[in-house]
Amino acid sequence: MSMTTCAVLSCSEIASEEIENEKSGSEFLVCPDHKAAVENGHPWWPDRDTNGIRMGRDLPPGLAKWTVLETEAPGLILTIETDRPDVEPFQIYLSKDSYEHLAGAFRPVFKPAAQ
Ligand SMILES: [Zn+2]
């Protein structure tokens, strides 16, 4: 068997473990550290361009805090703070249309838990 490198993009360790993407069923070979990280619940996802895995610094920053400010104009200003100290908080103006579009985008992904 030939030596395979860990599928995590920024990792060059030898892969000896397997993880599975439950959504797609695809399997990836990873090093023991990244196998443990996945088992500890660290988020990851397949990178279609490279057939590797994005994890840690290869993922976009997470949402730490957000605030909504009503404006004089018909719309809102959304301020987003991430979980990365090196990313400055930023603001987005949401018109009524873009607000509704954004709100609608989450519905198919996050369904309410069954009672
Ligand atoms: Zn690794």
At residue 110, what is the residue type? F
Per-residue pLDDT, 5: 96
Per-residue pLDDT, 29: 96
Per-residue pLDDT, 36: 97
**Both 54 and 25 in a single domain?**
yes
Average pLDDT, 10 consecutive residues per value, the chain (115 residues): 87 96 88 96 90 91 94 90 94 93 81 69
79 CA from centroid of ligand 1 (Å)? 34
User: How many structural domains does the chain have?
Assistant: 2
85/36 Cα distance (integer angstroms)? 25
Per-residue pLDDT, 51: 86
Per-residue pLDDT, 14: 97
35 CA from centroid of ligand 1 (Å)? 8
**Domain of 92, in residue numbers:** 63-106
Could you tell me if residue 4 is inside a domain? no
13 CA from centroid of ligand 1 (Å)? 5
Per-residue pLDDT, 115: 61
**Both 27 and 53 in a single domain?**
yes
Would you call 44 helix, strand, or coil by DSSP? strand
Residue of 63, 68, 66 lying closest to 83 (CA atoms): 63
The whole model's pTM is what? Answer: 0.66
Contacting residues for 76 by C-beta, under 8 A, at least 6 apart? 68, 69, 70, 93, 94, 99
- The string of DSSP letters for 51-88 reads TEEEEGGGSPPPEEEEEEEE-SSSEEEEEEEES-TTS-
77/51 Cα distance (integer angstroms)? 37
Could you tell me if residue 5 is inside a domain? no
**Both 53 and 72 in a single domain?**
no
Could you tell me if 55 and 43 are in contact, meaning their C-beta atoms sit under 8 angstroms apart? yes
Residues lining ion ligand 1 (Cβ < 5 A) are 6, 8, 11, 13, 31, 34
